[in-house]
Structure 1
Amino acid sequence: MALLFFLILLAIMAVVELFIYRIHALDEVSLDVHFSTDLAQFGEVIEVVEIAKNNKRLPLPFLLLKFESPVSLRFLDMTNTTKSDLLYREDLLTMKAFSSHTRRIKAQCIKRGYYSFFRVNISTSDILLIEKLSKEFDKSSNITILPEVIDIGELRSLMTITFSDVQQRRTLLTDPFAFSGIREYQVWDPMKSINWTATARSGDFMVNQNASTSMKQVTVFLNLEFYNRKKTDSLLEKSISLAYSYMLHLCESGIPCALYTNGKDILTGLPVSIEASSNLADMPRRGEKLARIDLNQEVLPFADILETHIAHTRSDDYTVIISPRFDLSFQERLIDILPLRPSLLWVMPCYRLFPKIDVENMLVSKYYRWEASGNE
């Protein structure tokens, strides 16, 4: 009889315990998972911050914190993490009444883009593990990872070609007695432009930047149409990195640069365009626009982008077409605009083992093969 009474008492306690936890277990419980920054450089190590709080008297003996993160982040510590199409992180802990938990997970940014968490969730149970209780939380934190900056050694030939044209055309318009500022020496700068006083002060070679009566600018057209039947996008990513790095080095040399592309913004769905500027302080904002290009969206025809924006550029501006696509119809479109923009360069990103292509005669002098590291 005593045993029966004890079992009935246990059953009543279990029902009461389950009732209390079912109603109140997830009350005053919060989980905030966010990135330590909203803008990061490619390759930078950031933190994913996980903050859980239990702001009530009821303790939670078993609490499972779960979130899903994009694989564009590489956790330096993969404990409790599973990788497939996403990174699935689960942390099990116990939370006392009125307690909090904070964990900082270091992660490296390994791919350009705009990212957020896919799911942020807490699961708990009653003390006797009779019933599982779950709750979803806000996942509004996002991060923009800027395109990779390509080493200047890989861009030296391209920058030399650019400067040989731009500097030559600016010579007659440059006032040698008017200075617009001082900047760091670049490999293509003439020795006569070195400012020895500024060099002695800084410890690095510095050069005078002459003012011009007319500022010549560079206009970049970035084509993100697929370049092979497999519809791979590795060279499209390389093209975006090339465009960003090219603009960065132009800004460092005081040359304004604008960019138009048929790639669409992941937030607005509109093709990305960047106004002309030579201000280095603008580069993070401009890089952010390139970072938000979504290659999963269908791009606009490149011919339409050319037709729309070429008319708004000056005929004497230096026009650079960055495109891994190289078929005959594409080359014919470039030939069509040569009379309008004779100062034109087609940069074709490819891998070193990629065979040479047939270039139309009229484009031979306008063609530059830029070989990227890696392979398809």
Structure 2
Amino acid sequence: MQYIIAIALAIFLYYIQDSYYKRHWNDQLTVTITYNQTYAHIGDTLELTEIIRNQKQLPLSLLYAKFRTSRSFIFEQSSSAAISDYYYRNDAFSILGNQQITRKLPFQVTKRGYYTINSVHLVAKDLFLLKTYAAVTENDTSLYVYPGLLLSHRDIQLTNTIIGDILTRNLYEDPMSFRGIRDYCSGDSMRYINWKATAKNSSLQVNTFYDTQQAHVMLLVNLDTQKPGHTERLKEYILSVAATLIQQLNNHGVYISLQINSNDCLTGTPLYITEGSGTEHLHKLFQGIARMDVNSPATDFYQLLYSASEPDFCDQTSYLILSNDHNTDLIRACATLQQQGKNLTFLCPEYSSFLHTANVPLDHFYYWEIINDKA
């Protein structure tokens, strides 16, 4: 008889707790997963923080928090993880009432991109570990991994050569920096004639000014490589070249705008970042490059090139073309813009085996030899 009563009592308690757990197991239960930084560089080690808060009396003897991150993140080996197209974690917790558990997971970033964790799947067990309850909770955390920079001596030397060429062509006389007076020469602007000095010397005299420099560079990146094989690696390398140029231009105080004919993973449209300079603008440019979806079809680069060179843009803007594709039509289009007075430089990242020895019929054309495309 006692056994029957005990069994009946156990069954009664089981159904009571099952009914209560079913209705209240996730009451005042919050799960937050965050990256400890908003941006990182390839090779950096970060932490992913899991915070479980149970703000009720009811304990959870077994709670699983399931979420996915990029497979490019390298975590310490864990039996609760699985890797396929993503890195899936299934972390187990046992949490009492009114308790908070914080767990930190170190990992290393290895690939450029924009990464988010938008949801966490929760699976809980009842007190008897027999029934399973599940729910999905929203999560809001994101991480920018900036493109790798090319910092070898050869790369820096070529970067400085290109930037030096651009900056030299951006020198102009600053009418606010008076230098002196000299005799008038054919071709001098009439607005610089100093009439008072002319009256004293009985010959035309003109004001002269110191040269100054306020460079504006629009970087146009073409991710339509037209190159069979190694396509994704080549595109990633081109983005690393772009980031390297941007950092060096920013170091020289250049105002930079950026257009890329590939889709932004957030907007689904080609990237366009307006002109700016300084540290905050540098982060904005790097974040834009981080969001590039290199697997999306590239849009028409000719349309981007012609729209970018329309008269609406600053007359002092220098155009820096970054393109592996340098077919005859594209070179001819760039040459036409140069003939129209545009300050245009063409930089072609190219594998050693594809380098052409023949001269390209375009002024200010540079090859960037790709020796190792693992940027």
**May I ask how many residue pairs the two structures share in their alignment?**
344
Greater alpha carbon shift after TM alignment, 212-221 vs 237-246: 212-221
Offset at residue 12 of structure 1 (A): 2.2
Task: Assess, with a 3 A threshold, how the Cα gap between structure 1 residues 293 and 212 changes in structure 2: closer, same or farther.
Answer: farther
Distance change (3 Å), C-alpha of 1:162 and 1:51: same
Q: RMSD of the alignment, in Å?
A: 3.1
Structure 1 counterpart of 2:132, one-letter code: K
- Counterpart residue number, 2:298: 299
Cα deviation, residue 329, structure 1: 4.2
Match of 2:246 in 1: 247
Aligned match of 1:260: 259
User: Deviation string for 1:331-366 (max 9, x for gaps)?
Assistant: 4443443423564332222344x3324767413862
Q: Is the 8 A contact 2:344 2:364 kept in 1?
A: no
In 2: Cα distance, 1:47 partner to 1:151 partner: 26
Residue 138 of structure 1 aligns to a residue in which SS?
A: strand
Assess if the C-alpha contact under 8 Å between 1:62 and 1:92 holds in 2: yes
Aligned pairs for 1:262-341 (under 5 A) are 262-312=261-311, 313=313, 317-340=317-340
CA distance in 2, matches of 1:34, 1:283: 24
Report % sequence identity: 22
- How far the C-alpha of 1:252 sits from its partner, in A, is 1.1
What corresponds to 2:35 in structure 1?
A: 35
CA contact (8 A) 2:217 2:320 kept: yes
| Residue in 2 that maps onto 1:234 | 233
Cα distance change, pair 94–355 in 1 and its aligned pair in 2 (3 A) = same
Residue 68 of structure 2 is matched in structure 1 by 68
Contact 1:347 1:369 in 2 (8 A): yes
CA distance in 2, matches of 1:214, 1:44: 36
CA distance in 2, matches of 1:362, 1:342: 16
Q: SS at the partner of 2:339?
A: coil
SS in 1 for 2:231: coil
Q: How does 1:1-376 map to 2 (within 5 A)?
A: 1-76=1-76, 78=78, 80-117=80-117, 119-151=119-151, 153-170=153-170, 173=173, 212-213=211-212, 215-230=214-229, 232-312=231-311, 313=313, 317-340=317-340, 343-352=343-352, 354-357=353-356, 361-363=360-362, 366-374=365-373
1:359–1:237 CA distance, 2 compared to 1 (3 A) = farther
In structure 2, the residue corresponding to 1:18 is in which secondary structure? Answer: helix
1:122–1:135: 8 Å Cα contact kept in structure 2? yes
Distance (whole Å) between structure 1 residues aligned to residue 23 and residue 116 of structure 2: 31
Query: Which residue type is aligned with residue 128 of structure 2?
Result: L
Q: Per-residue displacement from partner, 1:175-196 (whole Å, max 9, x unpaired)?
A: 9x89xxxxxxxxxxxxxxxxxx
Deviation at 1:88, TM superposition (A): 1.0
Secondary structure, in 3 states, of the residue corresponding to 1:156? helix
Distance in 2 (CA, whole Å) between partners of 1:164 and 1:114 is 32
